[in-house]
Structure 1
Amino acid sequence: MPERSDRFESLEEPHKRGQAAEAIVKSEFVSRGIPVLTPTYDNEPYDIVVEVDDSFHRIQVKTAFEATTSGAVRFRTRSTRTKSSGYEREGYEDAVDFFAVYAPACDETYLVPIEETGKTQMTIRHEPSKNGNVENTNWHEDFLIDGVLSSLCSDPTI
């Protein structure tokens, strides 16, 4: 049976990949007993809202792609829309609390506070770099969904 990441990679249309990433992220929360709310309309800057310890968190779901350097994945931290006049790019500041990122290359899901991202993109490293640089490195274990959720909730079993 093919792995989830293989099935995901076989999707060719960006819209289907986005839908699959959202479904994967939702299942990550639901399987941990965390309620997931979805906006009725598609014009909100966030894709889902989750409730953790009576607090609501707005989440934008992103798909990470393999970075140009090996052992890392990258995701964009702003929205790009096609308009008749060209592209419109917009950040998520004050509109979301977290990015939930599915990385098919390593089949991991990250939960990244928006304050910890760059203005246009973020790289998360799951293997040491070839040159040994560790300064200003975003390590995957710092953003794995379970670790970040445990910092948000009083119930350590989530």
Structure 2
Amino acid sequence: MSDRTTCYENLEQPQKRGHATEAIVRAAFAVRDIPVLVPTSDNEPYDLVVEVGGRFHRIQCKTAYRKSEGTVAFETVVTRRRGDGYDREDYHGRAEYFAVYDPINDNRYLIPVSDAADGKMEIRFREPNNGQRVGINWAEDYLLEERLADLRRPR
């Protein structure tokens, strides 16, 4: 039997990896008794809507990939092919969170769109060799369980 990373790599089409990630993210919310709503069309700038703490949150699902030793990354923009090239658009004002599945470490992250870097965001799960501590997006700060606890708190 293959490991998770190999299974994802064997899904050659990005759409298949995306569908797998969406299913894993939906399940992560479902087992925590969080209602999940799915748009009826594929043209929305979000993949899911969840209800947490009496509020609705639009979620864009993303699959993380190995960036460098100790980090994974995900794209924070949607890229569409146009007749004259490519169009890149961010998710600000179109979704509140990225739900990121990391098949390398089998982690699920919930990252506010407002926290995400333009174009791509790296998440570090291991200390860097150079000892740097500033400007790092630490994996433990974005774990799904931790972020859900924040969302459940009354405003």
The normalised TM-score by structure 1 is: 0.92
Number of aligned residues: 154
- 2:17 aligns to what? 17
- 1:7 to partner: Cα distance: 2.3
Question: What are the within-5 Å matches in structure 2 for residues 9-158 of structure 1?
Answer: 9-67=9-67, 69-154=68-153
Matched to 2:94, the amino acid is A
Give yes or no for contact 1:39–1:48 (8 Å, CA) kept in 2.
yes
Give yes or no for contact 1:9–1:104 (8 Å, CA) kept in 2.
no
The 3-state SS of whatever aligns with 1:73 is: strand
Matched to 1:97, the amino acid is E
5+ unaligned residues in a row in structure 2: which ranges? Answer: none
The normalised TM-score by structure 2 is: 0.94
Give yes or no for contact 1:66–1:74 (8 Å, CA) kept in 2.
yes
- 1:105 to partner: Cα distance: 1.4
The 3-state SS of whatever aligns with 1:32 is: coil
The 3-state SS of whatever aligns with 1:7 is: helix
The 3-state SS of whatever aligns with 2:74 is: strand
Give yes or no for contact 1:82–1:88 (8 Å, CA) kept in 2.
yes
- 1:6 to partner: Cα distance: 3.6
Deviation per CA, 1:70-109: give whole Å up to 9, x if none: 1000111100011222111101110000000011111111
- 1:12 to partner: Cα distance: 1.3
Matched to 1:44, the amino acid is E
RMSD of Structure 2 on Structure 1 (CA): 1.4
Measured in 1, the distance between the counterparts of 2:33 and 2:61 equals 19
Measured in 2, the distance between the counterparts of 1:7 and 1:119 equals 29
Matched to 1:58, the amino acid is R
The 3-state SS of whatever aligns with 2:42 is: coil
Give yes or no for contact 2:4–2:104 (8 Å, CA) kept in 1.
no
Measured in 2, the distance between the counterparts of 1:14 and 1:127 equals 27
Measured in 1, the distance between the counterparts of 2:70 and 2:19 equals 25
Give yes or no for contact 2:97–2:112 (8 Å, CA) kept in 1.
yes
Measured in 2, the distance between the counterparts of 1:132 and 1:12 equals 36
Report percent identity of matched pairs.
Answer: 47
5+ unaligned residues in a row in structure 1: which ranges? Answer: none
Measured in 2, the distance between the counterparts of 1:3 and 1:37 equals 30
- 1:11 to partner: Cα distance: 1.2
